[in-house]
Amino acid sequence: MHQINCKTFITENFLLNSKEAEILYHDYAKDMPIIDYHNHLSPKQIAENLPIGNITDAWLGGDHYKWRGMRANGVDEKYITGNTLKEDKFNKWAETVPYTLRNPLFHWTQLELKRYFDVDDILQPSTASEIYKKANSILATKTPADLLEDMNVEVICTTDDPIDNLEYHITIANRNIFTKVLPTFRPDGLLQIEGENFSDYIKKLSTCVGHSINNMNELLKAIQSRIDFFDAHGCRLSDYGLEQIYAYDFTEKEADSILKKRLVNKEITTDESNLYMSFILYKLCKMYHAKGWVQQFHLGALRNNNSRLLKEVGADVGCDSIGDFSQAEAMSTLFNNLDSENCLSKTITYNLNPSQNEVFATMMGNYSEGGVIGKMQWGSGWWFLDQKDGMEKQINTLSNMGLLSRFVGMLTDSRSLLSYPRHEYFRRILSNLMAEDMRKGLIPNDLPFVGKMIQDICYHNAVDYFKFNK
């Protein structure tokens, strides 16, 4: 491939197409602290407090976005998830980057190189060696806590299994670091009753809580115990990664019978599985409400499509896609049932299928509550929608169907400590969209008024919504 002009296009006014946009970003959005209320960072890595050392580890380890791009470019799997040399893996990514033009990976790559390593050159084979050396020399002394502080990250909420002992969160809490690191309760394992590992998971939960789990009453007691434990260690959010919400009619007796069948490894029907999941989901939501937690629903991913790679490499390696699941009716049933009992927590939903943007945005408006600002949130563009077009569509749809001014803003949903320029990306896009409306006469040409709204979306709304300091 022809060598790209080496100097980056990531200028001071990248994505800012007017003087108004420049003012809104630089004077209002740019310097706001970051609250990253959903990510998949490793609390173990943060607690160990060791320098990152190598950009391949920080950048390519676990990043299924890059892995998909490399596979599409014909890179052999050994350079993606294999045990080859770190520099060889980095070089294969450098070979791929020029071919990612117009993919968000191209923007993210250059933003991250600029913000963390002050690299202006575009990554490609001719620049790879020098960039690799420079990045590694900086990472040789940068701990995870340093990288988070460099990006002004005030709070991060990791994603944690109910059986996690939170030892790393406890270690971090006892250290004097800039960023507050809090757990998030992610109970997917409790719902996956059809999975072959379900009985083993319940045994681990039993060991964790110190009592047997042979029926529904004992399972609910164990779940409450873990929620209490997480709450005591700063947890204020829950999360689910589901294809769709489950809202079958149920009785506790029916759910108990289904659970007992699976605990002795008997087969259950799809309807029985859905009834059990509906019951557990409902009970979890009520427990969260009692704690004052925020609940998040990530809905619509069709996961692990490539059975060959699933067997050879494992889950979550870049073989997931957008699903076309039905969402509205079950969401309405669950939220309405909870709302009818005054047990509906603050809720954020995220959809992966862009054809359902309006479905999600309008659903959340059904359960707003007087006295609770922005209680029901339609979340930021997620996963495949976490890019310029997806962000703009989410912002525009939310503006049309709800109150953009009350939006709790961006998150990373990332496994990488080098992903925080995605907040900058979002802030530039938001500033530019608002400036375009000003220039078209669609909103008042009042920079302080619009700038304050942008600051709220970038930071203040999340502070008020999550109340991490309570």
- Distance, CA of 187 to chain centre: 15
Give the model's pLDDT for residue 315: 86
What are the tens digits of pLDDT across the range 202-240?
A: 999 999 999 999 999 999 999 999 999 999 999 999 999
Give the model's pLDDT for residue 2: 66
Report the alpha-carbon distance of residue 211 to residue 199 in Å, rounded: 15
What's the first-to-final CA gap in the chain, in angstroms?
55
Dihedrals φ, ψ of 434, to 5°? Answer: -65, -40
Report the alpha-carbon distance of residue 429 to residue 21 in Å, rounded: 9
Residue of 289, 275, 281, 456 whose CA lies nearest to 367: 289
Give the model's pLDDT for residue 232: 97
Report the alpha-carbon distance of residue 111 to residue 174 in Å, rounded: 33
Helix (H) or strand (E) holding 338: helix 328-340
CA dihedral 423, 429, 432, 433 (to 10 degrees): -120
Is the pTM higher than 0.85? The answer reads yes
Around Cβ 217, how many Cβ atoms within 10 Å? 11
What are the tens digits of pLDDT across the range 337-378?
A: 999 999 999 999 999 999 999 999 999 999 998 789 999 999
Supply the DSSP string of 188-234, one letter for each residue.
Answer: HHHH-TTSTTHHHHHHHHHHHHTS---SHHHHHHHHHHHHHHHHHTT
Give the model's pLDDT for residue 311: 87
Give the model's pLDDT for residue 470: 65
Q: Does 26 score more than 80 pLDDT?
A: yes
Q: Does 189 score more than 70 pLDDT?
A: yes
Mean pLDDT over each residue of the chain, to the nearest integer: 96
| DSSP secondary structure letter of residue 379 | P
Q: Does 458 score more than 90 pLDDT?
A: yes
